[in-house]
């Protein structure tokens, strides 16, 4: 049984139909936002009832149990809370109509950054997180960074998007005025920023003001600042 579970989690990391959830918070958020759990596994000493009572009384988990050695082999970084799960990856589409901004990450490289962007986008009420480039935004590392909040909004990788209004977030841009509810907010890759092609077709380039000497914000921090500027306005 333990060997089968280890193999199931190993295979799931390469299976595009499955999602690996690491830790109680990730499982909790996934359940709250409608995830279909395939398997929940807990370390034999993990007190899931106490975790639920303390952190999420609305989420009750029924888990298979493995010993500490087995648990340590389920995922690369075993979570402290002692629980991991597999869920079905939902079919998601780019929303055709937006009542809140969508975040577009152009070719992001750091999946934990992608996860942090998904987390703040879900919290602020963004309509979607869209990505371009080779990285899968549903990879286990991104899911860890989002604490399972990928299930709260569409997170979709696409080749390109031709939608407006397209606002490019660029340290060389102008200070923002009002951010339209239906905006696509485009953020560049961690090292090089937005591509010339995207900057050329943007309706506006907006900058978050920074004190002299600072060249840019971290990607997820920039996403956070803009979404909360929109939300609080």
Ligand X SMILES: C[S@@+](CC[C@H](N)C(=O)[O-])C[C@H]1O[C@@H](n2cnc3c(N)ncnc32)[C@H](O)[C@@H]1O
Which run of H or of E encompasses 105? strand 102-105
4 versus 177: smaller Cβ distance to ligand X = 177
Structure tokens at 153: 């909004």
Position 188 contacts ligand X (CB under 6 A): yes
Stretch that binds ligand X, among 24-32, 131-139, 142-150, 211-219 (CB under 6 A): 211-219
146 versus 216: smaller Cβ distance to ligand X = 216
CA distance 95 to 97: 5
**Are the C-beta atoms of 67 and 97 separated by less than 8 Å?**
no
CA distances from 123 to 91, 92, 212, 229 (A): 21, 19, 30, 13
Question: Which one of 163, 204, 207, 229 is in contact with ligand X (CB under 6 A)?
Answer: 207
**Closest distance of CB 106 from ligand X, Å:** 8
Position 171 contacts ligand X (CB under 6 A): yes
List the beta bridge partners of residue 21: 85
Structure tokens at 184: 């696509």
Position 230 contacts ligand X (CB under 6 A): no
Position 193 contacts ligand X (CB under 6 A): yes
**Are the C-beta atoms of 106 and 194 separated by less than 8 Å?**
yes
74 versus 223: smaller Cβ distance to ligand X = 223
Question: Contact residues for ligand X (CB under 6 A)?
Answer: 169-171, 187-188, 190, 192-194, 207-208, 210, 216-219, 222
């Amino acid at each position: 049984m333990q060997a089968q579970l280890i193999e199931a989690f190993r295979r799931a990391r390469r299976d595009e139909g499955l999602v690996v959830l690491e830790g109680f918070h990730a499982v909790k958020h996934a359940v709250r936002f409608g995830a279909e759990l395939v398997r929940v596994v807990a370390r034999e000493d993990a007190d899931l009832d106490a975790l639920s009572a303390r952190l999420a009384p609305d989420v009750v988990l029924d888990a298979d149990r493995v010993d500490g050695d087995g648990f340590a082999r389920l995922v690369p970084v075993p979570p402290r809370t002692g629980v991991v799960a597999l869920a079905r990856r939902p079919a998601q589409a780019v929303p055709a109509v937006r009542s809140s901004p969508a975040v577009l990450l152009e070719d992001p490289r750091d999946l934990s950054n992608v996860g942090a962007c998904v987390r703040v986008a879900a919290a602020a009420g963004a309509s979607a997180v869209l990505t371009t480039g080779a990285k899968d935004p549903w990879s286990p590392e991104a899911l860890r960074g989002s604490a399972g909040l990928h299930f709260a909004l569409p997170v979709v990788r696409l080749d390109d998007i031709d939608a407006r209004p397209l606002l490019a977030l660029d340290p060389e841009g102008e200070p923002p005025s009002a951010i339209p509810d239906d905006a696509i907010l485009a953020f560049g890759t961690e090292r090089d920023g937005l591509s010339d092609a995207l900057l050329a077709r943007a309706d506006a380039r907006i900058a978050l003001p920074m004190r002299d000497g600072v060249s840019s914000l971290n990607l997820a921090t920039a996403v956070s600042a803009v979404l909360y500027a929109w939300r609080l306005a």
